[in-house]
Structure 1
Amino acid sequence: MSYELSREHEEFRRVVRDFAEAEIAPLAAQWDREHRFPVEVVRRMGELGLFGLTAPEEYGGAGGDFTSLCVAIEELGRVDQSMGITLEAGVGLGINPILTFGSTEQKERWLPDLVAGRRLAGFGLTEPGAGSDAGATRTRAELDGEEWVLNGAKQFITNSGSALTSVVTATARTGTRADGRAEISAIMVPADTPGFVAEPAYDKLGWHASDTHPLTFVDARVPAGNLLGERGRGLAQFLATLDDGRVAIAALAVGCIQACLEMSLDYAGQRQTFGGPIGRKQGVAFQLADLEVMVRSARLLTYQAAAMKDAGAPAAQFKQAAAIAKLHATESAVSATRIATQIFGGYGFMEEYPVARFYRDAKILEIGEGTSEVQRMLIARGLGLPVE
């Protein structure tokens, strides 16, 4: 299977790069310092068509491929990881569950604004006591006549409490199966629902310009028709959604590694010690070589997985490729930021240099959309090992 980017993909990359360098890069450090979610720039991302890349034309999208979305996420992530995750979550976790599992009525109601970037949707899976163990969901939804009544809490939910947020799709226990296991369904909860509370935003290590909140549901009532997909299939739906998301997070990591390589190369050519640029020193040159290996290998694995998605590869094969890409790219990104910070020396520890921001932003890549441990478990299972 070929996974080289086409000429059209590379032309699109240039469009997104130009936008990112003109609209995001000059203000990214300020947003980071202020912990500010830049609503106006997110809207311009929508005007550029980034949120609608993979959506059908009937909902205002471009009807494009998954690879194009990964290119866009990589290029945004190259200048600001916060805006990269805003796009990744807005499409992969906000739009995709509705597009894949929603009814015609649900799609017609929610998708036009989401696809246009006028509004954002969240994906409520993680809970205080149910992180990687998503099946341990405690949020409950009881059917009362023609309404679902939700009670519970979610945490670490992206795009869940901004001025643009319109809806959060949340997993909840809706009953008990015959074998005693919880029946988990997905229910769409509009942001203006009484009893839906976006708690104060987190004070995070990184991704300061990304919108992230804990959520609380207190007798939040929504129509019975807000059930997304089949009752009792919510967990399976969300886990399938995460396969796509892992490749998209890998693309975000590729952008991070690329940024580290470019910043380090530039600095190594300018910084003078002992009568010459530090890039002439073997110790620094070898570190730069390692960054080049990291970005090439991460990019290849990421776009191979994206190509498999676009080609309709068997689900098991795609799941394995997604886990491999996510694991390698994100762990490489964390290593790349450490190397870049070391090359910058004392300046790398100063917030005036972007390398410090990338260093803080990178760690979450190994955690979100499935930790590195979860990826290793999935890969081992793909090898036929009965890993618990």
Structure 2
Amino acid sequence: MSCLKSVLQLLQVLTTLSGCNIYKYIEGRRVFKVNPKINLLVGAVHRFWLRPYLLTTFLMHLIFWLAEFRKGLTDLTPGSERSLQLTYEIGLTVAKYRNVFISTGIAYHYRHHQKLMRRVLNEFIRIYYSYERICGKVPKINWLLFGIQAYRAFVASMAPIVGNQKMGLGISPNVDILLGLSAVIFVCIQPLLLSLVAYLGIMLLYACYDIQVPHNRRKSFQLFVFYRQLIRLRHAFDCLVRSFVWTALAHSFFIFIANFHLILYDQQSAIDFGESLLSSFICPVALLHINVTISSIEKTFGQFRASFKPQRQTQMMWLYMHVMRATVDKSGFNAFRLDRGHILEMLRLGWSFAMFTNAMLLNSTARLKHFKTVNYKKLL
């Protein structure tokens, strides 16, 4: 409990200071309550800073890409590489601003899902103490899996600062400075901290599913209530964590394409490419392991046996029907329904797009300059 409590306290302080947390925990009552002052401040920041920044960034890039597309259509110069450059620049821009999806999700959830966030937080508290009451111990967090998710979130959040150059409006240096500062806060800091909170919530939910106690009359009824609350928590939590999980998958997709070009073709190192591929997909594989474990455990809930006799058969059938109804989810974007098909589809799309862009490069006059830059001799 001490390690989890320390991490939660640190994240609560950091998320509050960065303006993406409006809740405070009441220790004696074991509930989360909205802090009215912070709620007012965060609402003002979102209305007068975050949303104008997102709108300005979207319009800035829309105008830029429409102009570039128009130039590409009207450019009749023989051997022109404008379309090839446009393809690469679009990929770089999407990779750079992938965390904008999380920032947009922050604004959307803050506006439309305040009650849901508070309910999910309070349900996590109830589940945690229910687990402790039934098992006599606290849930054991898998810190290795959390470290993998935290590392990926850190790398993805710092990439906009370290990597690409920002695109200025050209109106005023002060406006460009404000956009750069906004990007640091809304594209780097806030998505990083909220990703850590989301992944820690996934780890805690994953730990609560691993519950095994001897069956007796009292424990059987407590387990039934616990299972029902746990499944409801997973359904409610999916709505909040979905953007973080799918942003992580998109990040792995773009990293795969980048590694395909930079390592396999430029450095000609299959070993380095395999290592980079492993590092890119260790996060989706970790999420896949969590989801497979949760799904397999939920299937065993229907086999739960009540120990008090005359209603044993009735309660078993009732529990089975309840679990089956609660676990049915037809949404293809459910964060807890990630399977091997999603990862294989990402690999297929990434491979296809990488081969497409590589074919454009090899069939263009730009390959001479590119291969000279990377000191590539074999294909010349």
Pair in the same fold by TM > 0.5: no
Question: Which structure has the bigger radius of gyration?
Answer: 2
Alignment TM-score, normalising by the size of structure 2 = 0.31
- If asked which structure has higher relative contact order (CA below 8 Å, sep 6+), I would say 2
Alignment TM-score, normalising by the size of structure 1 = 0.31
